[in-house]
């Protein structure tokens, strides 16, 4: 049976989802070299109880396991991938740990999984496996629009996993979820677009791409539950519960906070709270000067309407307004937007600018623009940055430009603590955008160096990755 939730049910699902996201995040920040999997199970039990929720796992006794699961969370290490039964094992540096958690609160279940590397070691194969499942999940979520079909999600997930070079196993996949954890429809991790159940608002789905490095075959552990790769190779698994809404998919199992974010300088995903903590430290965190690349490129364009994504305290928006553009700035941080608004007033440019505090992954289209630009954008809590950039590329008017600037390499002074952050080359940026070739003209894809000063005032050189595209006018392709 397929359950469709009413708005009150979806509201309850948001609460259950945030709880799952937060518990996973808490465990992720606590789990370290030496942590025992049984400790993690005990932490989970007490976090579920403290939240007034119930475990979906303890008494769960499906046909694919031996007897009731008897634990509160799945812990799968390295070759273990699904249904990992917590056991007496202390984590080691570089272990690839997957946590999978489902709880029910106020009658609604939510289910999510994360994979991450324990300690400081960053084995490349582990990093690649995790990244592939995260990209596949993002692609699946992006495909989960009302009116689309299950096959569209499956095909999107499968395409990413296959392209990353991993065989896909179809024995276990995603599923409907609602008053109970496992419901119809099944969401295989590969499939055909246009086939299967048609998505409608109120449907909750748990999407869960998982991969094994060199095999599609699973073996069952002696514990009767834990599923491992048949070859002993490493594995990864990432899962979110989403709600189909009239506007698209809403991710329900994101953590509401990101413990430790304030002291990690370059998080791959920056939440609104991360930004608020950064902005709280001083009155102004950015230089107040326009980004070099934007100024160089926009000078060559005829002024029109512009959108700056991740506008921070608004220096680029003000520069554009000062150079004849009607400019809109979007940023997740309320503090940044308040500062930008004030700066516009002070500069006498208030009538040429508009600022919005919003996460671009969920913001309804604010219109079409002659220039959409993003400089040094992070992934938001709502989506990876590539998904956000693809979304905003749609907001470029025919004949308009899309300009993306990012760090091609860590700033010399940040190299030590930037190892979790990926620095894309222009080619990678372009590939991630995955634009329809006939719709766009590539104008610039290069890295450019510029001189700057480090936070200590030392001269330094920065490398920017610059991608500029022009959107074709209809009928003007090629």
Q: Which value, in Å, is the radius of gyration of the alpha carbons in the chain? A: 23
Query: Are 366 and 328 a contacting pair, CB within 8 Å?
Result: yes
111 binding ligand MF3? (CB under 6 A): yes
Contacts of ligand MF3 in 127-146 (CB under 6 A): none
Piece of 88-96, 109-117, 144-152, 244-252 that binds Co ion (CB under 5 A): 109-117
3-state secondary structure of 427: helix
Lookup result for tokens 């899309």: 402
111 binding Co ion? (CB under 5 A): yes
Q: Least distance (Å) from Co ion to the CB of residue 205?
A: 10
In the complex with ligand MF3, which residue's Cβ is closer, 75 or 380?
75
Q: Least distance (Å) from ligand MF3 to the CB of residue 83?
A: 4
Residue of the chain from 102, 104, 254, 294 that contacts ligand MF3 (CB under 6 A): 102
Q: Give CA–CA dist 7/21, Å, rounded.
A: 21
3-state secondary structure of 21: helix
Phi, psi of 255 (to 5 degrees): -65, 145
Residues 248, 253, 257, 261, CA torsion sign: negative
Q: Least distance (Å) from ligand MF3 to the CB of residue 63?
A: 12
Mind giving me the DSSP string for 276-289?
A: HHHHHHSS--S-SS
- Residue 57 contacts which entry, ligand MF3, Co ion, none (Cβ below 5-8 A, type-dependent): ligand MF3
187 binding Co ion? (CB under 5 A): no
Query: Are 181 and 104 a contacting pair, CB within 8 Å?
Result: yes
Distance of CA 452 to the CA centre of its chain: 30
Query: Are 289 and 354 a contacting pair, CB within 8 Å?
Result: no
Here's the x/- map for ligand MF3, 208-227, by CB under 6 A: it reads as x----------------x--
Q: Least distance (Å) from ligand MF3 to the CB of residue 168?
A: 16
Residue of the chain from 13, 24, 74, 243 that contacts ligand MF3 (CB under 6 A): 74
69 binding ligand MF3? (CB under 6 A): yes
3-state secondary structure of 295: helix
Q: Least distance (Å) from ligand MF3 to the CB of residue 208?
A: 5
Residue of the chain from 100, 134, 331, 429 that contacts ligand MF3 (CB under 6 A): 100
Here's the x/- map for ligand MF3, 6-45, by CB under 6 A: it reads as ----------------------------------------
Q: Give CA–CA dist 452/448, Å, rounded.
A: 13
Buried b / exposed e across 443-463, counting CB within 10 Å, b at 16+?
A: eebeebeeeeeeeeeeeeebb
Q: Least distance (Å) from Co ion to the CB of residue 231?
A: 24
Piece of 21-29, 57-65, 152-160, 308-316 that binds ligand MF3 (CB under 6 A): 57-65
What does the binding site for ligand MF3 look like in residue numbers (CB under 6 A)?
Answer: 57, 60, 65, 69, 74, 83, 100, 102, 111, 206, 208, 225, 239
């Amino acid at each position: 049976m397929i359950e469709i939730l009413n708005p009150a049910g979806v509201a309850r699902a948001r609460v259950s989802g945030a709880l799952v996201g937060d518990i996973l995040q808490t465990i992720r920040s606590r789990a370290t070299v030496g942590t025992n999997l049984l400790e993690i199970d005990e932490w989970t039990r007490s976090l579920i109880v403290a939240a007034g929720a119930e475990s979906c796992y303890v008494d769960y006794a499906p046909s694919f396991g031996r007897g009731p699961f008897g634990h509160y969370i799945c812990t799968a290490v390295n070759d273990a991938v699904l249904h990992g039964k917590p056991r007496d094992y202390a984590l080691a540096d570089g272990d690839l740990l997957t946590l999978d958690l489902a709880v029910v609160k106020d009658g609604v279940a939510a289910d999510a999984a994360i994979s991450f590397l324990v300690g400081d070691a960053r084995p490349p194969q582990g990093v690649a496996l995790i990244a592939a499942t995260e990209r596949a999940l993002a692609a699946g979520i992006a495909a989960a629009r009302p009116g689309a079909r299950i096959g569209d999600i499956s095909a999107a997930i499968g395409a990413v996993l296959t392209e990353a070079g991993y065989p896909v196993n179809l024995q276990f996949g995603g599923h409907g979820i609602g008053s109970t954890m496992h419901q119809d429809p099944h969401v295989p991790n590969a499939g055909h677009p246009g086939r299967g159940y048609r998505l409608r608002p109120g449907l909750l789905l748990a999407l869960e791409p998982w991969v094994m490095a060199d095999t599609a075959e699973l073996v069952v552990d002696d514990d009767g539950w834990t599923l491992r790769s048949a070859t002993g190779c490493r594995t990864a698994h990432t899962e979110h519960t989403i709600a189909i809404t009239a506007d698209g998919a809403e991710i329900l199992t994101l953590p509401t906070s990101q413990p430790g974010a304030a002291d990690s300088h370059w998080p791959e995903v920056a939440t609104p709270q991360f930004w608020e903590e950064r902005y709280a430290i001083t009155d102004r965190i950015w230089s107040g000067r326009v980004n070099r690349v934007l100024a160089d490129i926009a000078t060559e364009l005829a002024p029109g309407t512009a959108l700056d994504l991740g506008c921070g305290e608004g220096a680029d928006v003000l520069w554009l307004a000062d150079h004849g553009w009607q400019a809109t700035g979007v940023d997740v941080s309320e503090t940044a937007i308040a500062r930008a608004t004030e700066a516009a007033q002070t500069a006498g440019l208030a009538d040429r600018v508009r600022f919005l505090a919003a996460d671009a992954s969920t913001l309804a289209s604010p219109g079409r623009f002659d220039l959409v630009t993003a400089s040094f954008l992070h992934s938001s809590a709502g989506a990876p940055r590539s998904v956000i950039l693809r979304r905003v590329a749609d907001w470029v008017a025919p004949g308009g430009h899309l300009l993306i600037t990012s760090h091609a390499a860590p700033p010399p002074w940040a190299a030590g603590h930037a190892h979790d952050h990926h620095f894309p080359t222009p080619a990678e940026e372009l590939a991630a955008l995955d634009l329809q070739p006939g719709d766009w003209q590539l104008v610039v894809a290069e890295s450019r160096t510029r001189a700057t000063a480090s936070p200590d005032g030392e001269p330094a050189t920065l490398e920017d990755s610059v991608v500029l595209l022009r959107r074709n006018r209809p009928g003007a392709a090629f």
